[in-house]
Amino acid sequence: MDLLEKLGNIEIKVIDRFPAEDMEYCRQAEKDYQNAYNIYSEFSYIAEETDAQIKKLYDSLYIQNIDNHKDTLYDCNEKFIGKICSYFRKKYAVTVEAPSWEIIDEERGRGYTKEKYDIVPLKYILDSIYEQMGGMSFEEKAFDELREDVKEAVTNDNGFTKYRIQGIKLIVDDFYSSYKDNIFQRYRASVDGKHRSFFKALTHFEYGYYDLSQKYGFLCNYGQIDEKDGVYDKRLISSSVINSIRVYKNGKVEIEFKDYGTVKKFIEIYFPGIPQKTAS
């Protein structure tokens, strides 16, 4: 066997790719899944035998359709895949797509038998997650995704910048799509993922984690923010980096930092390379 063949036969152990704490969780989840799968598999076998015996009866009155019993195995597989992916998605604040286990694909199956009723190897799921990280650690991937989302909040659909620095204030024009409700005669603004990501970046900047701080929750209600909740008033923020936040009825947001160096550092970290909006 030559050197290339030897290198080709080297398989990186799954346990070497993931922290021990994560592997402990995954192994326990795998054990529970396999126990459930084996029970349902036995049930499926009994159902098939029962179906075959019933169909031998002369009287068709007793024949029932139980052909969908295998769907229980499929659901079991889907839940296991979803459980593992959800764990990493929530723990590390990264995007993790659940790999498919429905289609037989000899070319891309990496040696696994991909048939939706077969048992799913844990390694198959972890291999997919590892590949989705693109060579980054979970922390690097989470930070990279956060910066990409923040970029959408400070640029418009054409990629032009919407932010500027004014003293110690970071101002983002057209941050929200704000409008006046003609029925209730008050202002509201639409909220989506890019708004939440922006305030997650402020949270990460101060605390180092990716969950949204409660102090920004009033600006990130799912669906919309409303004038009746006082969102268009200047809000003092209990923060080591920010003094206050104010949202204007035209959709502009104004964030006052503690000092110029802090606002400059925030911009350099979370949307580097995007120039300020020039004065019009």
3-class DSSP state of 234? coil
CA dihedral 230, 232, 238, 241 (to 10 degrees): 170
What are the pLDDT digits (tens) for 20-70? Answer: 999 999 999 999 999 999 998 888 888 777 777 777 776 565 556 666 677
pLDDT, one tens digit for every residue, the chain (280 residues): 444 444 344 445 656 789 999 999 999 999 999 999 999 888 888 877 777 777 777 656 555 666 667 788 889 999 999 999 999 999 999 999 999 987 655 655 556 667 788 899 999 999 999 999 999 999 999 999 999 999 999 999 888 999 999 999 999 999 999 888 888 888 988 899 999 999 999 999 999 999 999 999 889 887 888 888 888 999 999 999 999 999 999 999 999 999 999 999 999 999 999 999 886 5
* Tokens 């723990």 found at: 91
Residues 77, 98: contact at Cβ < 8 Å? no
Residues 215, 141: contact at Cβ < 8 Å? no
* DSSP for residue 183: T
**Residue 125 Cα distances to 43, 77, 83, 169, angstroms:** 25, 11, 10, 45
Relative to beta strand 242-247, strand 186-191 is unpaired
Residues 88, 134: contact at Cβ < 8 Å? no
This prediction's pTM: 0.80
- Neighbouring CB atoms inside 10 A of 245's CB total 23
Domain borders along the chain are 11-135, 140-270
State the Cα–Cα distance between residues 75 and 77, nearest whole angstrom.
5
